[in-house]
Amino acid sequence: MKENLSRPRHFPFMIRVIRQSFPILEKVWPSMAYRWAFDKFFTPLRFPQPEREIPTIQKAESFTMPVSGKKTVFYSWGNTQNPTLLLVHGWMGRGGQFYKFVDPLLDRGFHVVTFDGPAHGLSEGKKTHLNEFAESILGLEHRYGPIEKAVGHSFGGIAIIYSIVKGSHIKDITLISTPTIGSEIIKEFLKQINGTDKTRIAFQQFVKQRFGFDFNELSASSLVQKVAFRSLLLVHDYEDRDVNISHAREILRQIPKAKTHFTTGLGHTRILRNDEVIENVIQFFKAFE
């Protein structure tokens, strides 16, 4: 099936403002533009929590733990003696986005945990990065013991894989709408801010200077070469306008034994509220108990 991307792309208001102003800044003050782009890449926008998520969040045991000095909010549902299943949201997301997953997972005997990543949701901070999400995951394992099963949406999928590199015990993974190709992640970011290739080059140089590694080294397609999965499920929508399905296909190319569940018409975030997707994910995990 081919991707249907003919509908015009709708950007949030703040992104539209940035798209109009960044090309001007890039021309009149390029060094400032490059530094601003680097800064904004690690500064997620926060969005209000929709009413539909609140009842599930209110039923959770919520607690905080420090992650890189930031008070980070975590959520737990169910019997902690049951197998723990971790849900990790994406960039500019929050734990409550998995609200439709919680009750079905509890009904199947799982203890469910998630969190608002640093600088996301109700957690502290204005900036964050991959290592802080991995720290959050490792913090949950310190609290509850080894976690073997996890679902990651978008950036959350990269965080799960990186946490394994850092020592997490996760073995069975579902990646939903996860970006995996480093060059395409940068290209999508430039598309959002209307930046040119000059900004791309400067951005990659800043990453190297700040973190000491090439940006592509921490892309999912690179990280999966460093970990051994027991099982992997790729869930992606053909009409995802934020993360093209080619990202899932790249992981499938590297791990041909991975299972897939590709959908049409659910896009990047509505896929988290689809009953068929949720049931498919649960069945995948139940097969590896």
SS (H, E, C) 168-187: CCCCEEEEECCCCCHHHHHH
pLDDT by 10s per residue, the chain, length 289: 444 444 555 666 667 778 889 999 999 999 999 999 999 999 998 989 999 999 999 999 999 999 999 999 999 999 999 999 999 999 999 999 999 999 999 999 999 999 999 999 999 999 999 999 999 999 999 999 999 999 999 999 999 999 999 999 999 999 999 999 888 899 888 988 899 999 999 999 998 888 887 888 888 888 888 888 899 999 999 999 999 999 999 999 999 999 999 999 999 999 999 999 999 999 999 886 6
CA neighbor of 228 nearest in space, from 169, 145, 158, 142: 169
Side chain identity at residue 124, one-letter code: E
* Residue the block writes with tokens 């999508």: 188
Look at residue 35 and give its three-state secondary structure. helix
- CATH label, 49-181+219-286, candidates 3.30.360.10, 3.40.50.2300, 3.40.50.1820, 1.20.1050.10: 3.40.50.1820
Side chain identity at residue 26, one-letter code: E
**pTM of the shown model:** 0.91
Domain boundaries, the chain: 49-181+219-286
Residue 114 to residue 77: CA distance in whole angstroms: 9
Side chain identity at residue 31, one-letter code: S
